[in-house]
Each structure stands twice: as structure tokens, then as C-alpha cells.
Amino acid sequence: MPAQRPATPPSGTLFVGVPDMVRLVRRKGLPACIAGVAARIEADFLRWPEFDKSARVASHSADGVIELMPIADATRFAFKYVNGHPKNTRSGLPTVMAFGVLADVATGAPRLLAELTLTTAIRTAATSAVAARRLARPDSRRMALIGNGAQSEFQAMAFRDLVGIRELRLFDTDPAASAKLAANLRGQGLDVRVCASTADAVRGADIVTTVTADKALATIVTPAMVEPGMHFNAVGGDCPGKTELHRAVLEGADVFVEFEPQSRVEGDIQQLPADFPVTELWRVLAGHAPGRRDARQVTVFDSVGFALEDYSALCWLAETAAALGLGEHVDLVPQATDPKNLFGLLHGAPVAVAA
């Protein structure tokens, strides 16, 4: 376990907003950002027992969900605020919006406040690739990408760079989304074809990534579409009442999850009995459980998104932003010279100067 850092003098909170994150990605390059976050996620998953873990807290409504995702080790506490409202795009808002905080465990002082909408797309793609490197066939080169919305480009590039995908078959119920994705991927070294249906896209694929948004008990992939050796990267089913894979697809596969207590409620496995066997991904990464065993095995990564991935992304973001001189320090919490005299701040008491 890493040694706990000593408390540091008050120095404000580093704020990394959307413009800062855009500048960071442009300076580093998106492939380097995805690879950096992926490496951090894998390293932190190998420290799994060191973390205080819990399922996220969710507030559901008819149109979506708002969630808080907390986690901590002995040094840092992190949380993410995130929503999921599929109808938002009709009114010009993103389906997913997020921000996060990284704080010192020793003092509770918030050290980073950051946008996490772009960062979540990067960390989700990075997590998918980390899992696929252990669960997909090593010779996988063709991927079907079902659901071509805001996260799809990030998934495509992560699988290109970290897994070796060279062919992409796209399908979305909104043809404009597929056209957008195909245009954004032009010149990116991928053979891209827009397909007429999910079945058409999935046929002959080594990996099938589903990243759909509708809050519904959907069956995007049916048993008839499954071929020996396929790996399913099921990303879109991430809350109660929202699925993508037919129950029989799961029953015929080896299923891997992030944090089982959360996945039982939110993942595609919510369709199955509580004793249906699943394996947490960290056990595969640590060598405690097998991943892919042979070329004909069908594997499913039932990914719902877990707070440890956001912890990893926030730590990476804090270090990278600081190294590049991005972001600004803000007084998110009072910085009084006398911390016991909070009331005095309202009457002109001195404010501490940032260290």
C-alpha cells in the first residue's frame, strides 16, 4: 500500500474545465490519452483490495438517472457525478454529462475539480480495451460497433490502438449517427462499413461492442447472432431496466464484470438469477482467474462503469494537467487564516494566500 502523503498547506483546488481538457487531448494526442488512462486503470485494478468500494448511488426518473460514484484508497478519495438521459439529444444536451473530484484522505481537502464528460468517454474506451486484451482472441481484427453515438469514436480508436482492430462494421437505428461516425473515422487507418442491421454488422465479427443509449430492456444481440470465439463488449446496459444482450447470449458465455454487487443490479446480468457465475475483471488481470481459455470460447464483458476507473482517470488527469500547466486554482472551499473563524470571512477576516 502506498505511503500516505503528509497534509499540505491550503493551495486551492485545481479546476480542469472542458477547454482545458480539449487542450490537453490536443497536446497529448487522443491515442496517448487513451493509452495513459488504460495503463492507470490496469495498475489500479491490480490494487483492488486496497480500495474502499461501494456500488454507486442512483436517483432514477422516467427519463433517466443521476448517479454519484465514490471510491477511496488510503491516500485519495474520488467521486464522479454523472447522468444518463437518452432523450437529451432532442433538446441539444448530451446524453451523459459528468464532473469529478479528487481529494486528500488525510485532510478531506479537494485537490482537483474536473470535467468528466470527455474524460469518461476516454476512460470507458480504455476500460473496454483493457478487458478485451484478456478476453478477446489475440488475432481479433474485425469489430462490430452497435450504437454510433457520442462514445463510439473513442471505442473505435481504443480498439484500433490497444487491441489491433482494423475493420469496423457500424450500425445505429439513427443513420445520421453512423454517417457521423464514419466521417469522423475517415483517414484513421480503419476499414469502415456502415451496415443495414445489427445482424449484418455482427456477422463474422471477432468483437462486438454495444454502446446504445435507450433506457429499455432491449435485446440488441440475439443468440442467432453469436458465433464461436466472439467477444462481446457490452457497454450500454448500465442501470436497472436497461439491457442490450438477450438472456440466452449471457447463459451461453463466460461473463466478466467490474464490481459484482453493482453489476448484478445494473448490468445485463440483471436478467439472470443471483447465483449465475460471473468473474470480476480484476481477478483476471491479477492472474487469480482465467480469461479466455480457447479460440471457440464466447466471452462477455458486462461493463456498467465503476468508480475505480474514474479514480484512475482523475489521478491521470491531475498529473497530466499539472505537467502541462493546464487548469487554474480556484477557492472551492474557504481559505481563512483562522479556520475556526468561518463567520469572520463575511466581515472581512483575512483570507489565506495560496501556497
The residues carrying an active-site annotation are: 238
Question: Which residues have C-beta within 8 Å of that of residue 313, sequence separation ≥ 6?
Answer: 37, 40, 41, 100, 116, 119, 120, 122, 123, 126
Q: What is the DSSP annotation of 227-256?
A: -TT-EEEE-S--BTTBEEE-HHHHHTSEEE
Burial 72-111 (b: 16+ CB within 10 A, else e): bbeebbbbbebbbbbebeeeeeebbbbbbbbbbeeeebbb
Q: Which three cell numbers stand for residue 101?
A: 473530484
Of 130, 158, 132, nearest to 292 by C-alpha is 132
- Per the document, the length of the chain is 355
Question: Exposed (0-12), middle (13-18) or buried (19+): which is 180, by Cβ within 10 Å?
Answer: middle
